Structure 1
Amino acid sequence: MSAPRDVPALLPAQSPGPVLVALSGGLDSSVLLHALAALPDYRARGLRALHIHHGLHAQADAWQAHCAALCASLGVACEVRRVEVARDSGLGLEGAARAARRAAFAEVLRAGEWLALAHHRDDQAETFLLRALRGSGPEGLAAMQAQRPFAAGQLWRPLLAVPREVLRAYAQRHALCWIEDPANTDLHHDRNFLRHQVLPLLRQRWPQAEAALAASAALSGQASALLGVREEAWLAEHAPDNTLALDALRREPPAQRARLLRRWVAQQAAPALPARGIAALENEVLHAGDGARFAWHGVEIRRWRAHLHLLPPPAPWPAAWSASWDGRAPLALPDGGELALHGAAGFAQPLTVRARRGGERLRLPGRTHSSALKHLLQEAAMPPWRRFALPLLWEGDTLQAAGDTLLSAPFAAWLQARGAQLAWRPPAA
């Protein structure tokens, strides 16, 4: 068996752009930074490193100092970002740390920069096994992608085809020092259990187990990409405005409906739709009436007028909330929405803004009598979640506007005479 090539030789000689290395100080990221620093084009394009200080371990400050010293020895700029790890997020400590880390990556990554992560072939094999044990489909079994868009730049895993043993040999050959995080040996974590208990046992029978599992991940990725081509085209036709047409969805077989729903949710950067969500949508939303909904992780899918809508759950206004507004500056609403007056300096007298309380009436332009606001909203086909957050503008006891489309005759005339416009930005707009 021939000796493996040195790690820099396994990397592209030409940098894809300015590269930011996520440096934990462990073996893998230390090797990645050292190898990239050995390639002149990466230095020329602006190679730098980022260390995330989680504050979860007694040695966290020492790890930061270690990373700073490594970068100084290589002549690479190093930025340190301290993060607060939420302990009550429901993700567990490891998941919360990962979420905080990703948020920091997104904040630090510059436009057009490539975030280099040091995941390798053994990591890919472990991820494939974890996803398989969770019952994942082709997307999940594809495990980690070598490259994909992320924040203002790209996320890049240049070592994804390189075995861990090659990285360790490189580190020893170049006398690198690295951090051994005790958490990496805690068998309570699923990945550590696979790494230290399951995979060594598999290698006794199948010496190329990691390579085979990583290859299966690659094949799953290819299958997922092929399926995705049709699904992207389908969604472009039937969900062009981020609402999904129910009639078209029902014509698809159940397994394809599930894939389309997951991809539609992913397109809108929402949390992944859980398996129970697919079942709930099939049983409680697709064949129900308007207003049926399924909520998870801070978002929800609602059925309305033969379409599915993906929304954040409505935020209730505080009881009896009201505000005096003169129109001179935008008014922040308690649910995160906003009211603004464009084309006029302000109102002659401040108006009162408050939420619906029931029983309101409004006389629209061209009508001789007032109508119940409830009926006007139904005529306008305003979705229920918009009605829930609708700001009402009052002049004394007279309703002048509901949102920015239902205007009283006098108020509409006042705006028209000045070439002005009322603008309401709902929280989910």
Structure 2
Amino acid sequence: MAYSGGRDSTALLHATARACAAQGLQVLALHVHHGLSRHADDWVAHCRTQVAGWAAQGLPVTLSVHRLEGRPARGESVEAWARTGRHAALQRLALAGGATLLLLAHHRRDQAETFVLQALRGAGSAGLAAMPRAQRRAGVVWARPWLDRPREAIEAYVAAHGLDHIEDDSNNDPRHARNALRLKVWPALGAAFPQAEAALAQSAEWAQQALALQQELAGQDLPLCRGAAGLHVAAWLGLSPARAANALRAWLHEVLGQPAPASLVRRLLAELTAARDEPVAQWPAPGGRLRLYRGELRWERTPAAAPPAVVAAQCLDLSRPGVHPLPALGGRLIVELLQAGDSAAGEGVPASLLSKVDLRPREGSARFQPHPHAVPRSLKKCWQTAGVPPSGRAGPLLYLGEQLLYVPGLGLDARVRACPGTPRLSLRWLPETA
């Protein structure tokens, strides 16, 4: 459990420990010391005393503390820096403690506030969806069991059990956006509209459903728009405007590793139609640039952050769908399950063959067969024929024994593809952002 020592996390930690005592479960309280407040050391001491007292009473709870290193960069939001560092620390601490479930004490007021703040920033469905009730992150489920509970219910629990908790003095600083909303806007909003909290939290739930539908639709549209190494613009323009915008945002999120800036999405929507007939066009993007080349939109890393060459062979197990990071190579392999009957270009390879895939250094003798009736040719000639620029050729070569399996920018070798109608997996290489 994420445990700051404040009212909400104190209440949830206490309630969770009481519930787990009857089930033989152990609760690990995770406290992150941000190093931003002069009271931070006192807060750690309070949490240690509180947890030790509960443990002495027989509650199955222990405490783990982590201190963030560094400070926010010049111009960086303190809230954003603290949130990013806190989330990374909580994930590491949970995994180190052997936990697969991480509880957070956000409640209905928090959800309503998040919805309002995102709306004021002009967010779309992803932002208005606010905080998910549960989300899996690299083997840990982050859950908010009290997301539909009003703040008053938590205050009543704290009072009923006489729980001591921390009052963070920074919560009274209106320079932070959420504090300004709580201190200046919410009292008037609640007085004028008593049901505001419940109504706004409900709107966030509707936005979550809309976001899920958008993601499902993008999952159907993107396979139809994929080219050899990017987004096939002519196929993408065949979608309706709303579906094209949705697919573009999903593709950008995939290749950038983060949500694309709204300004970039708007610019691409406005300029791609006119630029598709140009031999080359490009747009700056996080970590590099987007380049239109031979009708395909591709993300290219900045030259200074080019992925390193493969220096040593290794064996990989790619038999399960998911994301397989290869940080030493500057990217990740995406393994996806193709449905029976799916005739998408590129097809796939039987999952049973992917339990032992060899990653090897690039060799001049490697030859690739793009389709069943083609003659295997050198990688250079295949890349040139497919119109893959040099920047799109970096990444790992994968083999099944002595047979070439996958080449970045070209895809699966035709000699290893499964027939449509049989269970199979597809492979894609995505470089990390710079």
TM-score by length of 2: 0.68
CA RMSD between the two structures:
3.5
Which of 275, 281, 290 aligns to 1:292? It is: 281
Q: Distance in 1 between matches of 2:229 and 2:198?
A: 40
Q: Distance in 2 between matches of 1:209 and 1:301?
A: 42
Unaligned runs of 5+ in 1: 1-20, 318-334, 343-362, 366-373, 390-403, 406-424
Which of 306, 309, 320 aligns to 1:337? It is: 309
Contact 1:85 1:100 in 2 (8 A): no
Q: Distance in 2 between matches of 1:199 and 1:147?
A: 26
* Residue 140 (structure 2) aligns with: 153
Q: Distance in 2 between matches of 1:275 and 1:70?
A: 45
Q: Which structure has the greater CA radius of gyration?
A: 1
Whichever residue aligns with residue 389 of structure 2, its letter is P
Q: Distance in 1 between matches of 2:273 and 2:390?
A: 18
Deviation at 1:296, TM superposition (A): 3.8
- Summarize the Cα distance change of 1:26–1:282 in structure 2 as closer, same or farther, 3 Å threshold: same
Contact 2:228 2:386 in 1 (8 A): no
Q: Distance in 2 between matches of 1:23 and 1:42?
A: 21
Q: Distance in 1 between matches of 2:33 and 2:391?
A: 41
SS in 1 for 2:292: strand
SS in 2 for 1:292: strand
- Summarize the Cα distance change of 1:211–1:376 in structure 2 as closer, same or farther, 3 Å threshold: closer
SS in 2 for 1:81: strand
Ranked by relative contact order (alpha carbons within 8 Å, sequence separation 6 or more), the top structure is: 2
* Residue 17 (structure 1) aligns with: none
Which of 276, 291, 295 aligns to 1:306? It is: 295
* Residue 370 (structure 1) aligns with: none
Q: Distance in 1 between matches of 2:188 and 2:288?
A: 42
Which of 69, 75, 91 aligns to 1:84? It is: 69
Contact 2:8 2:105 in 1 (8 A): yes
Contact 1:116 1:157 in 2 (8 A): yes
* Residue 167 (structure 1) aligns with: 154
Unaligned runs of 5+ in 2: 56-60, 315-363, 367-379, 396-406, 409-428
TM-score by length of 1: 0.69
Whichever residue aligns with residue 215 of structure 1, its letter is Q
Q: Distance in 1 between matches of 2:87 and 2:70?
A: 11
Is 1:125 the counterpart of 2:105? The answer is: no
Q: Distance in 1 between matches of 2:150 and 2:251?
A: 35
Deviation at 1:74, TM superposition (A): 2.5
* Residue 278 (structure 1) aligns with: 265
> Which runs of structure 2 are paired with 1:3-402 in the superposition (5 Å)?
21-40=1-20, 44-75=24-55, 76-88=61-73, 90-110=75-95, 113-239=100-226, 243-267=230-254, 270-285=257-272, 287-288=274-275, 289=278, 291-298=280-287, 300-315=289-304, 336-340=308-312, 378=384, 381-386=387-392
Whichever residue aligns with residue 33 of structure 2, its letter is H
Contact 2:102 2:143 in 1 (8 A): yes
Deviation at 1:426, TM superposition (A): 11
Whichever residue aligns with residue 113 of structure 1, its letter is T
Q: Distance in 2 between matches of 1:306 and 1:41?
A: 61
SS in 2 for 1:339: coil
* Residue 349 (structure 1) aligns with: none
Q: Distance in 2 between matches of 1:81 and 1:269?
A: 30
Contact 1:199 1:209 in 2 (8 A): no
Q: Distance in 2 between matches of 1:225 and 1:160?
A: 19
- Summarize the Cα distance change of 1:44–1:188 in structure 2 as closer, same or farther, 3 Å threshold: same
Deviation at 1:377, TM superposition (A): 7.1
* Residue 329 (structure 1) aligns with: none
